[in-house]
Amino acid sequence: MLRILGKASSINVRKVLWTCEEVGLPYERQDQGPELALNPNGLVPVIVDGDFVLWESNTILRYLAGRYGSASLLPHEPQARAEVEKWIDWQATEFNSAWRYAFMALVRKSPAFDDPRQIATSIKDWTRMLAILDDRLATTKAFVAGAAFTLADIPIGLSINRWFMSPLERPSFPAVEAYYERLSTRPAFLKHGCNGIP
């Protein structure tokens, strides 16, 4: 059985848990395990699939979808796959970078993130990323990579949950709000994405 190492409250662990639920893959989650030492970054998640150990959450998502999922989550056709992977990578680079400082300050209350100017800049950048996403979702009228739910919606959906759960003033993004409602019809999202954890 697949083992997932890392606390269930971690956004990156939740990505993996949500993916497993989507593909119907049984798993066992543990906070700790000796295989965590195999990630030189000292971060979670780490998965153990037989004698194969893998770290980096988005790489894990691609691996699970490729090995256990279906082409609907991660298409085989190169252009359709690239569209999904583009949004996964955008979430990891642009979107994450935008919200990190504000989230650490406002939700985690970390003393290392207490500069009001940097908080304001992070909120501004975060809002700009939401505007990009809102434009995209207004175009697809469905999911981030197109008409169907794909692997890209897992990291994006968790970041949107974080947006709605953070104590900040939010402008209205109708397409994002409708997208969040669509995601909220998925049992796996309710279990690991919209489960009361930002």
**From the first residue on, what is the mean pLDDT of each consecutive set of 10 residues in the chain (198 residues)?**
96 97 96 92 95 97 93 95 98 96 97 98 98 98 98 98 96 98 97 94
Single out the residue of 154, 127, 145, 144 nearest to residue 178, CA to CA: 144
pLDDT at 59: 97
32: left (phi over 0), alpha (psi -120 to 50) or beta: beta
- What are the start and end residues of each CATH 3.40.30.10 domain in the chain? 2-68
pLDDT at 64: 97
- What are the start and end residues of each CATH 1.20.1050.10 domain in the chain? 78-192
Q: Which fold has domain 78-192?
A: Glutathione S-transferase Yfyf (Class Pi); Chain A, domain 2 (1.20.1050)
pLDDT at 70: 83
β 27-30/46-49 pair status: unpaired
Q: Which CATH architecture has domain 2-68?
A: 3-Layer(aba) Sandwich (3.40)
pLDDT at 69: 82
For the chain, how many residues are written? 198
